[in-house]
């Protein structure tokens, strides 16, 4: 029997358009693989739509109507990046509806979205992170100058609000920019090193494995503009030695397990002379065919359509520990 997959895109955050691109690509791959696909979109205003049709006149009513679509699905594929999506919000919705879902559950999504909490987990399992601290957006006027730091919202994605500050003026501007995306801001020391990403997938049988590492080559900071304007270059597999490859893969698997991730996650590092330094974790990374994660698995011999289908096969009902039974109750 053909399985019915509900793909959710959009969202109420700065990554709305990126999420739409992921959802469109995922839906197309599933259709080409013979799945029955239903598409839901969350508007910037919180209104849910099914195709071109609005589901209800207000956000609450449209959500109630969307739940009717979700509960009839065999699997939900929540392709929503950022807050109110990747942060565990949609995982909680699927858990309450007892519907199998692709990707990490509430706990892994919430911790992975919070860059400060992720740093604490990394350090607890022996993975280095950049020295840093958090400040409240309401207190940025009182921040004293710090040189050569990276400023970023504590919980945001696609590098929105991320900036390098090398003097007092840049720091003020960076703090104001980050405050547009979150009320908590992370200030980290600059880490000199190569930017290397590793993706980890958990298969339907529970086995998890890491992709070949990918190197991001950008002129300066890999920010939102360079991420999407085509100026950044991706090299996969990254040209690194066996020892560095093993260290990166081991650290990626440890982070995946420590957070309790499911489905797929992208773990980003800086590779330094002293080994990997964690940058961040993405529990719902960009997944258009040209995005980093599909490129990494393609390099491992897993083409895009099969990669997306494997994620559907790995779907579970999110439970209290982030994973639940592999079939509907």
Contact predicate 48/118, CB 8 Å: no
Residues of the chain with CATH 3.40.50.20: 4-103
Residues of the chain with CATH 3.30.470.20: 110-128+192-313
**Whole-number average pLDDT of the chain:** 90
How many angstroms separate the CA atoms of 263 and 126, rounded?
Answer: 24
Q: What pLDDT sits at residue 57? A: 86
The CATH architecture of the domain made up of 4-103 is 3-Layer(aba) Sandwich (3.40)
Contact predicate 278/122, CB 8 Å: yes
Q: What pLDDT sits at residue 326? A: 45
Domain 110-128+192-313 listed as CATH 3.90.1150.10: no
For residues 27 and 329, the model is more confident at: 27
Q: Kindly report the pTM of this predicted structure.
A: 0.89
Residues of the chain with CATH 3.30.1490.20: 131-189
High-pLDDT (> 90) share of the chain, %: 74
High-pLDDT (> 70) share of the chain, %: 91
Q: Classify 131-189 by CATH class.
A: alpha beta
Phi first, then psi: give them for residue 72, nearest 5 degrees: -90, 0
| pLDDT one-digit tens code per residue, 149-170 | 999 999 876 678 888 998 888 8
Q: What pLDDT sits at residue 231? A: 66
| pLDDT one-digit tens code per residue, 93-147 | 999 999 999 999 999 999 999 999 999 999 999 999 999 999 898 888 778 767 7
DSSP for 192-258, please give it.
Answer: -SEEEEEEEEE-TTS-EEEPPPEEEE-SS---HHHHHSS-SEEESS----HHHHHHHHHHHHHHHHH
Mean local confidence (pLDDT), 70-99: 95
For residues 319 and 295, the model is more confident at: 295
If 0-12 CB within 10 Å is exposed, 13-18 middle and 19+ buried, where does residue 239 land? Answer: exposed
């Amino acid at each position: 029997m053909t399985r019915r997959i509900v793909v959710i895109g959009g969202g109420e955050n700065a990554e709305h358009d990126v999420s739409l691109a992921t959802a469109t690509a995922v839906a197309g791959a599933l259709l080409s693989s013979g799945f029955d696909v239903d598409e839901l979109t969350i508007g910037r205003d919180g209104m849910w739509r099914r195709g071109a049709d609005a589901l209800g006149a207000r956000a609450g009513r449209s959500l109630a109507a969307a739940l009717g679509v979700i509960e009839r699905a065999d699997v939900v594929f929540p392709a929503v990046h950022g807050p109110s999506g990747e942060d565990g919000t949609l995982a909680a919705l699927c858990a309450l509806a007892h519907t199998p879902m692709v990707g990490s559950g509430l706990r892994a999504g919430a911790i992975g979205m919070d860059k400060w909490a992720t740093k604490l987990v990394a350090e607890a399992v022996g993975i280095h992170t950049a020295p840093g601290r958090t400040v409240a957006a309401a207190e940025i006027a009182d921040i004293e100058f710090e040189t050569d730091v990276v400023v970023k919202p504590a919980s945001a994605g696609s590098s929105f609000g991320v900036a390098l500050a090398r003097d007092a003026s840049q720091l003020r501007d960076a703090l104001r920019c980050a405050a547009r995306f979150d009320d908590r801001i992370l200030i980290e020391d600059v880490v000199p090193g190569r930017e290397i990403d590793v993706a980890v997938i958990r298969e339907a049988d529970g086995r998890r494995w890491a992709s070949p590492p990918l190197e991001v080559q950008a002129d300066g900071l890999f920010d939102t503009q360079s991420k999407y304007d085509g100026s950044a270059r991706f090299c996969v597999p990254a040209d690194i030695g066996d020892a560095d490859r093993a260290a990166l893969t081991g650290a990626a698997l440890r982070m995946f397990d420590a957070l309790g991730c499911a489905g797929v996650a992208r773990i980003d590092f800086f590779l330094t002379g002293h080994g990997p330094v964690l940058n961040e974790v993405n529990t719902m990374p960009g997944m258009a065919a040209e995005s980093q994660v599909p490129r990494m698995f393609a390099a491992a011999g897993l083409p895009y359509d099969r990669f997306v289908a494997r994620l559907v096969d790995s779907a579970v009902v999110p439970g209290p520990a982030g994973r639940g039974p592999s079939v509907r109750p």
